[in-house]
């Protein structure tokens, strides 16, 4: 009988342990399963570009890749962050791509508490994580933000670290640290260098700043969801034209019609630029009500706009209003001989050939032939992915991310082995100077 109390106590202890473990497992599962919506005004923990120039936005143990799309667990891309730091919270991050420093060139750095992780092509490098003081002597632990600054913009290849009200300029070559105070800047929760400009994120707002002085010029702060995320429906107010012409989010599609008007599509909105350079912006649904939003590709041919969405082709007669032709939408495969969705399409002037980009290949489809079939398949070597493209009298403009590249002809684009000069979409196509 004396054993009975002991047996009961053991059973109770096991039951409590099982319940606690089950609760922790359930809590962890709930935490990882939590749905994060960046369009609800999240304050990001860190922002950095990967080796291919795709921005990564970190929040807790989750990661958003690019300017739209759902969150995923950070440890899917950077497994060791979870192995060494179970919370998965990234304090600061940046990609260092100083060409004169091959040791650090194209490396991604993540800062968690007192540790720094260095990745190359998503693989943790040998010996990491290390103490921040070992890799960046003089830089404090528990950082708020960090951003790289090449010598063309900061005088020396540098990294700018942020903690509370303090800013630390770290000279990569000499390891000297200069402590500064950026009086006109808010405290940054994350920082980001993008298209040679510097952005301090605070909450769901951001300010553009001078990396040497910290000065903020212009009308700031601005709403991050207007410029760095595709959140077309997060609010009804605001200047839609200003947002669309200055957004850093890539275009989904672009074309110019026979009259010289440019149509550029992004998410739920589009910009129209007429031959007098007058810009207007509206929702896709307001002008193309059957489409609603999210156009994959568009090209102009014989006074009609051919608009591709997923596996369907919509053909509109250009006018006021634009009119969907009877019988459309139709399958892309049946109309153009190629399976949708596709990435980009364009027709050069005075030709019947639509050039279709799908993945890393370009095809030709003769619009005057029956049936239409893709021919002349060629690989594209200079870009792994194309977001949009259009053709005009001066050649082909190929858009990737927030930049475009100009080629004199389709042949030059296909034959190119190196990218030409990079141009900013927001500035050089739509006149946004900030």
Tell me: do 258 and 198 sit in the same domain: no
Whether 20 is in a domain gets the answer no
Mind listing the pLDDT tens digit of every residue in the chain (434 residues)? 444 444 444 444 444 443 444 433 333 333 444 578 888 877 899 999 888 788 899 998 888 988 877 888 888 888 877 665 555 579 999 998 776 666 666 789 999 999 999 998 888 999 999 999 999 999 999 999 999 999 999 999 999 999 988 899 999 999 999 998 887 788 899 999 987 889 999 988 899 899 988 888 878 888 888 888 877 555 555 557 777 888 888 899 999 877 788 999 988 889 998 877 888 888 888 889 898 778 999 999 988 999 999 999 999 998 888 899 999 999 999 999 999 889 999 999 778 999 999 999 999 999 999 999 999 999 999 998 899 999 988 899 999 988 899 999 999 999 999 999 989 898 899 888 76
Tell me: do 212 and 261 sit in the same domain: no
Tell me: do 71 and 117 sit in the same domain: yes
Tokens of 86: 């179970």
80-124 pLDDT, tens digit each: 776 655 555 799 999 987 766 666 667 899 999 999 999 988 889
Q: Buried b vs exposed e over 283-297: b needs ≥16 C-beta within 10 Å?
A: bbeebbeebebbbbb
**φ/ψ of residue 76, rounded to 5:** -70, -35
Whether 18 is in a domain gets the answer no
Tokens of 56: 């990564």
Tell me: do 203 and 258 sit in the same domain: no
Tell me: do 101 and 150 sit in the same domain: yes
Cα 389 from Cα 400, distance rounded (Å): 9
Cα 162 from Cα 58, distance rounded (Å): 17
In this structure, the number of other CB atoms found within 10 A of the CB of residue 369 comes to 12
Strand partners, 266: 269
Tell me: do 169 and 244 sit in the same domain: no
Instruction: Decide the pairing of beta strands 197-202 and 190-194.
Output: antiparallel
Whether 335 is in a domain gets the answer yes
Tell me: do 244 and 125 sit in the same domain: no
**φ/ψ of residue 415, rounded to 5:** -80, -15
256-303 pLDDT, tens digit each: 877 788 999 988 889 998 877 888 888 888 889 898 778 999 999 988
Cα 265 from Cα 131, distance rounded (Å): 46
> Which among 227, 258, 293 is the end of a domain?
227
Tell me: do 295 and 410 sit in the same domain: yes
Tell me: do 266 and 163 sit in the same domain: no
Tell me: do 164 and 211 sit in the same domain: yes
Q: What is the pLDDT of residue 238?
A: 54
What's this model's pTM, rounded to 2 decimal places? 0.64
Whether 189 is in a domain gets the answer yes
Strands of the 422-424 sheet, one edge to the other: 388-392, 395-400, 403-407, 422-424
Q: What is the pLDDT of residue 181?
A: 81
For the chain, the average pLDDT equals: 84
Q: Tell me, what CATH number does 162's domain have?
A: 2.110.10.10
Whether 174 is in a domain gets the answer yes
Strand positions, DSSP E, 39-172: 46-49, 55-59, 62-65, 72-73, 92-96, 107-112, 115-120, 123-124, 130-131, 145-149, 158-163, 166-171
Helix (H, G, I), strand (E, B) or coil at 386: coil
Cα 231 from Cα 319, distance rounded (Å): 29
Task: Let me know: does 80 contact 130? Beta carbons within 8 Å.
Answer: no
Q: What is the pLDDT of residue 233?
A: 58
Q: Could you tell me which residues come within 8 angstroms of residue 18 by beta carbon, excluding any fewer than 6 positions away?
A: none
Tell me: do 175 and 316 sit in the same domain: no
Whether 232 is in a domain gets the answer no
Number of domains in the chain: 2
> Which among 193, 227, 261 is the end of a domain?
227
Tokens of 407: 């080629």
Element (H, E) at 226: helix 224-227
Domain span including residue 323: 240-428
Task: Let me know: does 282 contact 270? Beta carbons within 8 Å.
Answer: yes
**φ/ψ of residue 309, rounded to 5:** -135, 115
Task: Let me know: does 149 contact 134? Beta carbons within 8 Å.
Answer: no
Q: What is the pLDDT of residue 203?
A: 84
Q: If we measure between CA atoms, which residue out of 362, 396, 354 comes closest to residue 378? A: 362
Cα 270 from Cα 266, distance rounded (Å): 6
Task: Let me know: does 202 contact 237? Beta carbons within 8 Å.
Answer: no
> Which among 171, 204, 227 is the end of a domain?
227
Tell me: do 97 and 154 sit in the same domain: yes
Cα 207 from Cα 223, distance rounded (Å): 9
Whether 253 is in a domain gets the answer yes
Whether 86 is in a domain gets the answer yes
């Amino acid at each position: 009988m004396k054993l009975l109390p002991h047996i009961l106590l053991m059973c109770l202890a096991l039951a409590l342990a099982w319940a606690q473990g089950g609760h922790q497992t359930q809590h962890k599962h709930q935490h990882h399963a939590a749905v994060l919506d960046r369009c609800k005004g999240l304050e990001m923990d860190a922002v950095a570009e990967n080796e291919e120039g795709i921005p990564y936005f970190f929040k807790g143990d989750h990661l958003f890749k690019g300017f739209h799309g759902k969150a995923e667990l950070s440890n899917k891309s950077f497994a060791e962050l979870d192995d060494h730091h179970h919370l998965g919270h990234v304090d600061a991050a940046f990609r260092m791509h100083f060409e004169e420093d091959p040791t650090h060139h194209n490396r991604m750095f993540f800062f968690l508490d007192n540790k720094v992780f260095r990745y190359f092509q998503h693989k943790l490098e040998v010996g990491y994580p290390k103490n921040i003081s070992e890799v960046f002597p003089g830089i404090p632990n528990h950082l708020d933000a960090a951003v790289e600054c090449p010598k063309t913009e900061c005088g020396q290849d540098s990294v700018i670290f942020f903690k509370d009200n303090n800013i630390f300029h770290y000279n990569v070559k000499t390891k000297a640290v200069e402590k500064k105070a950026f009086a006109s800047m808010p405290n940054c929760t994350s920082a980001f260098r993008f298209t040679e400009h510097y952005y301090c994120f605070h909450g769901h707002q951001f300010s553009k700043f001078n990396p040497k002085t910290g000065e903020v010029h212009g009308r700031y702060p601005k709403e991050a969801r207007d410029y760095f995320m595709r959140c077309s429906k997060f609010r009804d107010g605001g200047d839609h034209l200003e947002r669309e012409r200055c957004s850093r989010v890539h275009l989904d599609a672009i074309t110019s019609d026979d009259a010289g008007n440019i149509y550029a599509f992004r998410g739920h909105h589009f910009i129209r630029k007429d031959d007098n350079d007058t810009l207007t912006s509206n929702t896709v649904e307001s002008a193309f009500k059957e489409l609603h939003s999210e156009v994959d590709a568009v090209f102009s041919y014989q006074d009609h706009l051919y608009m591709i969405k997923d596996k369907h082709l919509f053909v509109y007669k250009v006018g006021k209003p634009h009119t969907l032709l009877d019988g459309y939408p139709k399958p892309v495969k049946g109309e153009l001989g190629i399976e949708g969705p596709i990435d980009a399409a364009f027709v050069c002037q005075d030709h019947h050939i639509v050039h279709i980009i799908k993945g890393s290949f370009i095809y030709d489809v003769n619009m005057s032939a029956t049936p239409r079939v893709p021919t002349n398949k060629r690989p594209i070597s200079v870009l792994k992915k194309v977001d949009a493209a259009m053709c005009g009298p001066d050649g082909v403009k190929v858009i990737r991310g927030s930049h475009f590249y100009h080629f004199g002809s389709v042949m030059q684009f296909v034959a190119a082995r190196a990218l030409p000069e990079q141009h900013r979409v927001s500035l050089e196509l739509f006149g946004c100077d900030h």
